[in-house]
Amino acid sequence: MQSLGHPTSASELRALAWTTLLVPMCAVYARSACRRLRPGWPRLAAILPTLPVFIYLPCLFNSYHLRLFSTFFHTWLAANKLVLLAFDLGPLKPSLPLLPFLLCTGLPIRLREGPQPTSHSASPGPSVADFLVPCGRSVLFLTGLALLFPHTGSLPLYVVHYLYCAQIFLTLDLVFSSVGLVAAAVLGSAMERQFRAPLVVASVNDFWGRQWNLMAVDLLRASAYKPVRDRWGRDAGVLAAFLMSGVLHELLYWYMTLEPPTGEMLLFFTLQAAFHVAERWARVAGLWRPPKAAAYLIGTTFMVVTISELFFGPFIRAGTDVRMIQEAADAVGLVRAVAKRLIVRLFGDASS
């Protein structure tokens, strides 16, 4: 089995430096080309040379977490946004000022649409507290999970995998909220929240449509769901969106393990699509209206079981979960060491 090299501060900082250089360069080029060319194939042909850069960027990182985020930020979101831009779709517009265009290309943020609020109107976008609260909550619970994971050997498998789900959600929410907070401060504009409460859901439709990673949902809707729906109908559009997500997760599996995809990601998302469509049919026919408590229990159990069996399985067999837990524990240890040093320095100076 191939494996990634051990991450060092020097290697990861070097990869971050290259990323910080290459992403804005590609974004500036794409914006300039799109301002000169009409939407459609001419724009796409001009943008195509940037796509290999976004596909390669995750390979610069040895840290599993940084490789994961680069895959999502660059290979998935940025490349998708630029392809949609070629056809005058999606969140990027050539008319955007340069700095918002750069940030929206390279980061998982979405500017609030519509007119800016006046002093007499409330802002429809989230406030600073809406980003600070999830950041604090995620840091607190991730620290608890890092301390808990070494002692989970006696817990049932599905409980451990539910804790994995919690770790993924809290990590992504922490990163997305932190990025949104910084971007809002830099741009002076409210950002949209990307996660709600996906750890307890009432249905498959609720999880994928209103709770989990709303930016990815929006991009899949624009790039796969709508074109297919307009030609072959709603159910075909749902299947296309989930299949595209499955292919992207197979690519993620390769980035994280350096092994050929197993097809289990594609099977997982195909199953989710089937239940998504079946659930909607059952609701329309009046066959699926369980009590609220039962809906949450059934929906959450279904998501945990299918994620456990099909989504986590390939990564666990490759040992990715062990490496990521160790990285998280190392990060917690680093934060504790830095905090201890600061406290000693502050209170030591005060006492002296």
Where are the chain's structural domains?
9-107, 200-318
DSSP code, position 216 = H
Query: pTM (2 decimals)?
Result: 0.85
Rounded-to-integer distance, Cα 222 and Cα 245, Å: 13
Query: Exposure of 145 by Cβ count < 10 A (0-12 exposed, 13-18 middle, 19+ buried)?
Result: buried
- Residue-wise pLDDT tens digits, 170-206: 888 888 888 888 888 888 776 777 777 667 788 888 8
Return the number of other C-beta atoms located less than 10 Å from residue 272's C-beta: 23
Query: Is 60 exceeded by the pLDDT of residue 119?
Result: no
**φ, ψ (nearest 5 deg) of residue 270:** -65, -40
Comparing CA positions, the residue from 136, 268, 294 lying closest to residue 201 is 294
Mean pLDDT (whole number) for 250-264: 91
**φ, ψ (nearest 5 deg) of residue 38:** -75, 155
Which three-class secondary structure state does DSSP give residue 223?
helix
- Residue-wise pLDDT tens digits, 19-76: 999 999 999 999 999 999 999 999 999 999 999 999 999 999 999 989 999 999 999 9
- What integer pLDDT is reported at residue 82 of this predicted model? 95
Of 153-162, 202-211, 258-267, which one has max mean pLDDT? 258-267
HSE, CB side, 13 Å, CA atoms: give it for residue 174. 16
Rounded-to-integer distance, Cα 257 and Cα 270, Å: 22
pLDDT band for 120, please (50, 70, 90 cuts).
Answer: very low
Rounded-to-integer distance, Cα 90 and Cα 80, Å: 9
- What integer pLDDT is reported at residue 349 of this predicted model? 58
